[in-house]
Amino acid sequence: MKETENNWKMNMRISILIVMGLLSFNLRAEEKQPVAVKSVKLVVPAQVGLVVENIGRVFARQVQQRCEAKVVTGGDAPLTVELAVEKGIGAEGYRIDDRKDGGVRIAGNDERGLVAGVGKFLRTSRYDKGGFTPGTWRGTSVPQKPVRGIYFATHFNNFYHDAPIEEVERYVEELGLWGFNTAPTDTM
């Protein structure tokens, strides 16, 4: 009798877990899934400095190099990506959230935070022949440490020493998109 009762309880627990799993799966399936787009409207604040303008150019170049989508700054597009600098997030932090009228808003506490936020958005997005599919990660991220970097050993005829400057610039750009903020060399 005791063994039958234990088996019944175990079967009930398993049944509950299966039902919960199925419900969870159905809820995720009903969530609005992003679709690939052929054009993205980039919105940059009106009164920005050269750094924020450059972040916009980096975003556009990264998207257009990876897929067939075009990034525009005027007119309409199926997806709008808004860049902003917004104090209060945390030093060099960023927040990615959905815009009230559709699209995505990437806000950095400062310019470095905005670069890292754009990097996170680019890394979580998809690129293919169908176009650009925006990443679904939403949230806030603030670095735990004030210095995040890599040492560039510019001697021994290695990559940093021998590569064309354009390739090194692209590499440094990628590091910034990952949130690195320091790149000392042996000449410092």
pLDDT tens, residue by residue, 11-32: 777 777 777 776 666 555 445 6
For the stretch 108-135, pLDDT in tens is: 999 999 999 999 999 999 999 889 999 9
Q: Which sequence spans correspond to the domains of the chain?
A: 1-31, 39-141, 145-188
The pLDDT of 80-89, averaged and rounded, is 95
Q: What is the pTM of this model?
A: 0.76
In this predicted structure, what is the pLDDT of residue 129?
87
Which CATH number applies to 39-141? 3.30.379.10
Kindly indicate the confidence band of residue 151, based on its pLDDT and cuts at 50, 70 and 90.
Answer: confident
Q: Give 97-104 contacts, CB < 8 A, sequence gap 24+.
A: 97/138, 97/139, 98/138, 103/41, 103/79, 104/79, 104/80, 104/134
Q: What is the mean pLDDT of the chain?
A: 84
